[in-house]
């Protein structure tokens, strides 16, 4: 495959924008769900309860399930914060040095794979599905590594 055409680069920009926006929505929904879990565990900070006239405080007994659910969702949020931003940096820098069609396609496949894997990872985490959670975490990491290697190879061609 030869030099990447402007059309291929435009398609790559579109794919990147869609994937990044989907990841943003995934993180946003995960954060909302984590907030619900914190509310159900009666574990919000005092000013949250005061701001809404005490309506956030739950009228039920807080059980071990509520505490575990809160922990599970907080860990998902932390995992997103630990993995998604740095992966997007790798993808975007790799994107910035793409020189040929094969590199563009490789990067597109990597970011799509990463996005799908992170969504499935979140679902698997939410439902305590092992080994699927670990498998999809690993797939997302592998996609990031592949994009990084792709970027290094392409960057080496331009120095």
pLDDT, tens digit, 9 for 90 and up, residues 105-141: 999 999 999 999 999 999 999 999 999 999 999 999 9
Residue 48 covered by a domain:
no
Residue 21 covered by a domain:
yes
Give pTM, 2 decimals. Answer: 0.91
Residue 121 covered by a domain:
yes
* Residue whose pair of structure tokens reads 């995934």 in the numeric block: 26
Residue 54 covered by a domain:
no
Residue 149 covered by a domain:
yes
Copy the structure tokens of residue 62.
Answer: 């807080």
What percent of the chain lies above the pLDDT cut of 90?
A: 72
Residue 57 covered by a domain:
no
Asked whether the beta carbons of 100 and 64 are under 8 A apart, the reply is no
Into how many domains does the chain fold? 1
Helix residue spans in the chain (DSSP H):
6-40, 46-51, 64-96, 101-126, 132-157
Residue 71 covered by a domain:
no
Residue 68 covered by a domain:
no
Structural domain containing residue 133: 6-35+76-157
């Amino acid at each position: 495959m030869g030099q990447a055409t402007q059309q291929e680069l435009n398609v790559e920009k579109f794919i990147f924008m869609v994937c990044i926006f989907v990841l943003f929505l995934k993180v946003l929904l995960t954060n909302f769900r984590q907030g619900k879990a914190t509310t159900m565990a009666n574990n919000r900070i005092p000013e949250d309860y005061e701001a809404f006239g005490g309506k956030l405080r739950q009228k039920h007994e807080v059980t071990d399930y509520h505490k575990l659910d809160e922990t599970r969702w907080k860990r998902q949020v932390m995992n997103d914060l630990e993995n998604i931003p740095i992966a997007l940096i790798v993808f975007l820098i790799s994107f910035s040095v793409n020189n040929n069609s094969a590199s563009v396609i490789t990067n597109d496949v990597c970011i799509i794979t990463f996005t799908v894997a992170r969504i499935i990872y979140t679902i698997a985490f939410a439902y305590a599905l092992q080994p699927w959670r670990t498998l999809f975490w690993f797939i997302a990491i592998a996609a990031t590594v592949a994009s990084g290697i792709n970027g290094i190879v392409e960057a080496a061609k331009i120095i």
